[in-house]
Amino acid sequence: MQPQRKAVALISGGLDSLLAAKVVMEQGIHVEGINFFTGFCVEGHTHAIRQKDRDKPKRNNALWVAEQLGIKLHIIDISEPYKDIVINPQHGYGQHLNPCLDCKIFMVNQAKMWAWAEERQFDFIITGEVIGQRPKSQRKATMPVIARESGAEDRLLRPLCALNLEPTLPEREGWVDRARLFGFQGRNRKPQMELAARFGFDDYAQPAGGCCFLTDASYSRKLEDLWSHRGTRRYELDDIMLLKIGRHLRPRPEFKLIVGREEGENRFLEGYRKQFTHLRTASHQGPLTLIDGAASSDDLQLAARICARYSQGRSDAAVTVQVQHPSGATEQLQVQPFAPHEIPQEWHV
């Protein structure tokens, strides 16, 4: 009797990875899921921060998919090694700062290394890729690149588009029946939705895309701004978290302001008070504002006027703003709030 074969499935939480794992499980393969935390995941963070979203917390789609499939899910923090992918992608960026092809190669490689390093003895790797679905990473020409450069070679099976590709090891060895795999291609989601219906899945995350902040134009612009003003393409996890929230205004090259937009963001920014000089309106309700960079006394006046602009005192002649430095020293400034037209559009990052 042949041993039961084992596969590790990359689970993003979207429909395609759900279906890819299910297709292989239907053939009697033992499947476990793996999900990677890069620091740029859209899920979770922003919903946990913003007050309006806290009232209806969003589920973790990867965990939800694992529950639907009845498989284990291993969530791996790759935020540190992932920096190299973001900073220096060998295959370049997509439309924004999204290094999709390098990202996929890296994740497949991580899955391979994780599986074997832990002696879990997985026989192959599954992804939910579909040829032609993504302009950068999911093209017929890039599929072999991912398999080759990740080191997975022909142990990488894409069940949803396998019929458009050369047979992989699991197919040639008869571990999976190629005739029961699929030949999906293109951006049309109808075949996936029909397959989902056939499996009885009627509740799943919205079609792929939008799960990574690096595909977002506004976020990418803020990251470019961070790099260019620091003079180095480096970042820490706190940096990329802060880019996800608040208004970012850069009135001077030496510093920018991060202005909380609502109570939840203000509460989150509170956690950074000891690291940054920060401002808070004392005479009116208003936002918590962090100063990222070096600000002179004149700059503090400017920052206070911006902070006041977004407070309840925006229409008043004067607003009192308390400034607290990381040393603990405080000072109070009386400022006239900027009128909206006095804040140049180019200050907004």
Please report how close the Cβ of residue 62 comes to another protein at its closest, in angstroms.
8
Q: Other CB atoms closer than 10 Å to residue 90's CB: what's the count?
A: 11
- The helix or strand, by DSSP H or E, that contains position 96, with its residue range, turns out to be none
DSSP code at position 16: H
CA distances from 23 to 191, 207, 336 (A): 13, 18, 64
Please report how close the Cβ of residue 82 comes to another protein at its closest, in angstroms.
14
Residues that bind another protein (CB under 8 A): 35, 37, 41, 43-45, 47-49, 54, 57-60, 63-64, 66-67, 70-77, 241, 271
Please report how close the Cβ of residue 256 comes to another protein at its closest, in angstroms.
22
User: With respect to another protein, which residue has the nearer C-beta, 54 or 180?
Assistant: 54
User: With respect to another protein, which residue has the nearer C-beta, 41 or 165?
Assistant: 41
Q: Other CB atoms closer than 10 Å to residue 178's CB: what's the count?
A: 15
Please report how close the Cβ of residue 29 comes to another protein at its closest, in angstroms.
17
DSSP-based three-state secondary structure for 334: strand
Please report how close the Cβ of residue 171 comes to another protein at its closest, in angstroms.
28
Quote the CA–CA distance of 290 and 271 in Å, as a whole number: 11
Interhelix angle 190-199/15-25, rounded to 10 degrees, is 50
User: With respect to another protein, which residue has the nearer C-beta, 62 or 307?
Assistant: 62
Radius of gyration over every alpha carbon of the chain, rounded to an integer in angstroms? 24
Please report how close the Cβ of residue 324 comes to another protein at its closest, in angstroms.
19
User: With respect to another protein, which residue has the nearer C-beta, 47 or 252?
Assistant: 47
Please report how close the Cβ of residue 163 comes to another protein at its closest, in angstroms.
31
Quote the CA–CA distance of 345 and 280 in Å, as a whole number: 23
Contacts of 99 (CB under 8 A, 6+ apart): 85, 86, 89, 91, 92, 93, 214
User: With respect to another protein, which residue has the nearer C-beta, 267 or 314?
Assistant: 267
Please report how close the Cβ of residue 303 comes to another protein at its closest, in angstroms.
25
Quote the CA–CA distance of 114 and 252 in Å, as a whole number: 45
User: With respect to another protein, which residue has the nearer C-beta, 71 or 249?
Assistant: 71
CA 136, 141, 146, 149 torsion: positive or negative? Answer: negative
Phi-psi region of 186 (alpha: psi -120 to 50; beta: other; left: phi over 0): left
Contacts of 183 (CB under 8 A, 6+ apart): 161, 162, 163, 164
Please report how close the Cβ of residue 236 comes to another protein at its closest, in angstroms.
14
Quote the CA–CA distance of 209 and 75 in Å, as a whole number: 20
User: With respect to another protein, which residue has the nearer C-beta, 55 or 298?
Assistant: 55
User: Among 271, 268, 218, 274, which residue's Cα sits nearest to residue 248?
Assistant: 218
User: With respect to another protein, which residue has the nearer C-beta, 77 or 166?
Assistant: 77
User: With respect to another protein, which residue has the nearer C-beta, 69 or 321?
Assistant: 69
